[in-house]
Each structure stands twice: as C-alpha cells, then as structure tokens.
Homo-oligomer: A and B are copies of this chain.
Amino acid sequence: MQELGRLSHLREFRKGQVIVAQGDDATIVGNVVTGVVKLTKMSVSGQQQIVGLLFPSDFFGRAFSDNSRFSYEAATDVSLCCIDRQAFESFLLRFPEVKHELLLTVLDELDATREWAAMTSAHTTMERIAVFLFILSKRSAGSYCENGTKSERTVIALPVGRRDIAAYLGTTPETLSRNIQTLVRKHVIRPLDANSFELLDSAGLVDHTSESRDDLEAMLGVAPRIR
C-alpha cells in the first residue's frame, strides 16, 4: 500500500476537461478523490451518451487494455489519485492480493451495471428518475446520517447539470424537468437551490420507482474499492 502511494500522485482537472479520451491510449488509471467524473461514449451522430458517473472512491481508467472504449471527463472540478497504467499493472503482478481485490471489485461492478441496465431498459422515465434520485439520496446520506430517523433532513444534491442527467437516464432535459416538477408538486421533494432538493417523502419516492427497497439498495455503489 505504501508502495502504491509512492507510485500515485494527485492531479486536478477543471470541469469539462477530458481525462482519458475514447480510443486513446489509456495511460493512466486511478480513483476519484473529490468531484464527479463522467464516463461517456460518442455516438455516430456526435452526441455523447453518459455511460456512468464516478464518485469519490470510484475507480477510473481501464487496466490491461491499450485503448479505452470510453471517455473519462471531469463533470465537476475533480481531484484524482492517478497511477501510470503500466506501473499499476506491474504492481498488480507483484501483489496478487490486490489483484484479487480488483477482480472482486470488477465482478461487483459488472453486477451493478447489469442491474442498472435492466432497470433503465424496463422502466418508464419517471421510474428511472425516481431510482436515480433515490440512489443520490443514499449517496449523500452516507456522509451525514447514521440514524435513519425522519428528523434528519435528507438532501439530494444533483452532481451534474440537467443535460447530463437526462443523457444518463436516456431522456431529454425537458422530460426530466417535467418529472422533477411533478415530484415537487406531489411534495415528494422540495427544491432548496438550483442543484439540490430536500427529500420530504422517502416512501413516496420509492413508490415512484416500482422497485423494492432491497433492489434499490443493491444498485448503490457497493464494492470496496482499491485504496
């Protein structure tokens, strides 16, 4: 672990900067320290699809492949703990335990991605949005409250702009906006400022997802990450 620390270094990227471009040599890997990273893919028509959002502690980059099939782009200002990909790979060879952890992480990630894919393709737009908000509420709750009492205000902070969220959920900013306003009218959430809401009715939100709470929790980022 100390050795991993020696090999890695902290780098900062401004919002909008491309960290690794699709098709490029993926020379670095690492994990997110602060901020949010967009995992994107350019379609033929030139519009970018959001494949995933990476939050602090999430791993980014593609080990054991010479070119990345996706782009990694700073969705906000971010700081990343970076390691040269080659160095990381040879490090893995010397520390099989870490490599084993990586395997477990990737297996979990595959499961989570499959759950997400099943969810997005089988649900209505409102359901997808509700699931997304639910996940965000849990993400942010993790940093604040250990007791789930309703006295705590649960804040849902949108990490990126509406356009990106809409692309991530496979819809448009307009439809996203309409559905959010519907939830506001139903007093499920309450706007705090442009990019954050208070969750007023957690059960109501779950109702809109048409998923069980168990399945929702399974979709949270669950894996213990490297470092």
Q: Is the CB of A44 within 8 A of B120?
A: no
Q: Which residue of B lies closest to A39 (CB)?
A: B114
Contact bitstring A195-227, B, C-beta under 8 A = 1, else 0: 000000000000000111001001000000000
Q: How far, in Å, is A222 (CB) from chain B's closest CB?
A: 10
Q: Is the CB of B115 within 8 A of A41?
A: yes
Copies in the complex: 2
- Asked whether A177 is an interface residue with its Cβ less than 8 Å from the other chain, the reply is no
Q: Is the CB of A121 within 8 A of B118?
A: no
- Asked whether A1 is an interface residue with its Cβ less than 8 Å from the other chain, the reply is no
Stretch at the interface among A11-19, A61-69, A152-160: A61-69
CA distance A65 to B102 in the complex (A): 14
Q: Which residue of B lies closest to A167 (CB)?
A: B122
Q: How far, in Å, is A214 (CB) from chain B's closest CB?
A: 9
CA distance A106 to B108 in the complex (A): 10
Q: Is the CB of A49 within 8 A of B118?
A: yes
